[in-house]
Amino acid sequence: MPVDHSVDNTLPMTFVQGLLQGAQNICSAADIHRFVSAAGIAEHLLDAPGARVTYDQFVRLYQEVALGSDDEMMGQCSRRIRSGTLKYLCASLLDAKSLTIAMYRFTRFWNLLLDDYRFDCAEQSGLVVIALIPRDGSADMQRFGHELMMKLAHGIASWLIGQEIPLHAVTFSFARPQYASEYMHMFPAPVSFEQPHTALSFDAHWGAMKFSRSKAELLPFLQAAPRYWLFTTLKERLVAQQVRQHVLLNPKQDCCIQDAANALLLSTRTLTRRLKEEGTSYQLVKDALRRDIAVQQLIHTDLSIAHIAQGLGFDSTAVFHRAFRGWTGSTPGAYRRREINGC
């Protein structure tokens, strides 16, 4: 397995589907095709069970849809949020005397724009709580809209103080989705579903912090959106992520759970239990890493499938094909077909 200290996780295609579900409300089929193509996503994989995309692909799709639709919320809200809105939103926060005041302004700004929902910002029991609340029973923001609003609030708050804020909790009003385990890549906190409101909370000591951000710093932040606020950097606290990093740095094919347990100063029983509590196992973590390396190399490099299979420690290309289909539901070649056909 090749050693690469910066192998990102991949995302399930359901995140892409959620983004495009809103875009389809305001864009033509031809527009959607153009956005997907520009992001380097093979269109025949959009509905493939188990299909994955890289962070780079998802960020590019987000940027293409937001700019191409002239809607920075990409059809997720009942009205378009025109290009430039987030710039003026962030500019209105720069002279706030504390993070809590800035986030109060954040909620008031959105309440001028949203018809079906309102934001609340309040301190409760030592926490700053930011909640998205429907104005009436007809409010029907799509699931990705809820996810995006929470990431936007968290991302802007973290940028203002210059570091990612650990969250106390994230709640969503919708039912637990099948891909719920993937939220570890987006939210550095316990996540629960079917709650009264979609909300996030963080310790009030963060809210009391003063910050200093200039208009000159704002443009680079917005130009890089959404990569640096969409995906959390705090997931390293998870045992599964520590195991993933160990396997990544020790790429021998026979790397076993005992090796990982020793590296983390845990017994194998404790490591197994901790991984189970996080909804995974040593083998699942190891397979997910190999899957993510394979997907990224198939999409972003010209390495042959045989070379990728060999680098991942497979005895033959046929064995790699079977494993890859088990991971993603598709063949390795399916991730290359877009570039080959030029479509």
Distance between CA atoms of residues 293 and 155, nearest Å: 27
Decide which of 248 and 168 is more confident: 168
Q: What token pair was written down for 56?
A: 């780079």
* Confidence tier at 251 by pLDDT (50, 70, 90): low
Q: Are residues 267 and 287 in the same domain?
A: yes
Q: Are residues 133 and 161 in the same domain?
A: yes
Confirm whether 262 is domain-assigned. Answer: yes
Tell which residue, 95, 105, 218, 211, has the closest CA to residue 161. Answer: 211
Give me the residue label for tokens 């740095």. 249
Confirm whether 58 is domain-assigned. Answer: yes
Confirm whether 50 is domain-assigned. Answer: yes
Q: Which of 230, 265, 281 is the last residue of a domain?
A: 230
Decide which of 327 and 223 is more confident: 327
Q: Are residues 98 and 205 in the same domain?
A: yes
The reported pLDDT for the residue numbered 6 is 56
The reported pLDDT for the residue numbered 343 is 37
Half-sphere exposure of 234 toward its Cβ, with a 13 Å CA cutoff?
A: 17
- Quote the mean pLDDT of the chain: 90
Contacts of 121-129 with C-beta under 8 Å, sequence gap 24+, read: 123/204, 123/207, 124/201, 126/203, 126/204, 127/168, 127/201, 127/202, 127/203, 127/204, 128/99, 128/100, 128/103, 128/201, 128/202, 128/203, 128/204, 128/206, 128/207, 129/199, 129/200, 129/201
pLDDT tens per residue, range 84-97: 999 999 999 999 99
> Helices 29-38 and 55-69 meet at what angle, rounded to 10?
140
Confirm whether 240 is domain-assigned. Answer: yes
* Confidence tier at 271 by pLDDT (50, 70, 90): very high
Q: What token pair was written down for 129?
A: 């709580």
The parent domain of residue 41 ranges over 11-79
Q: Are residues 48 and 143 in the same domain?
A: no
Number of structural domains found in the chain: 3
- Percentage of the residues of the chain whose pLDDT score is greater than 70: 94
The reported pLDDT for the residue numbered 145 is 94
The reported pLDDT for the residue numbered 214 is 93
Instruction: Check whether 221 has a pLDDT greater than 70.
Output: yes
Q: Are residues 119 and 216 in the same domain?
A: yes
Q: Are residues 19 and 125 in the same domain?
A: no
Residue 170's identity, in one-letter code, is V
Instruction: Check whether 238 has a pLDDT greater than 60.
Output: yes
Confirm whether 4 is domain-assigned. Answer: no
**Exposed/middle/buried for residue 218 (C-beta within 10 Å: 0-12, 13-18, 19+):** middle
pLDDT tens per residue, range 157-170: 999 999 999 999 99
Confirm whether 174 is domain-assigned. Answer: yes
Instruction: Check whether 248 has a pLDDT greater than 80.
Output: yes
Q: Are residues 323 and 199 in the same domain?
A: no
The reported pLDDT for the residue numbered 236 is 61
Q: What token pair was written down for 308?
A: 């990728």
Q: Are residues 94 and 63 in the same domain?
A: no
Q: Are residues 132 and 206 in the same domain?
A: yes
Instruction: Check whether 234 has a pLDDT greater than 50.
Output: yes
Instruction: Check whether 45 has a pLDDT greater than 80.
Output: yes
Work out the average pLDDT over 298-324: 92
Q: Which of 79, 111, 138 is the last residue of a domain?
A: 79
Q: Which helix (H) or strand (E) holds 106?
A: helix 99-113
Q: Which of 79, 99, 116 is the last residue of a domain?
A: 79
Q: Are residues 223 and 316 in the same domain?
A: no
Q: Are residues 133 and 208 in the same domain?
A: yes
For the whole model, what pTM was predicted? 0.85
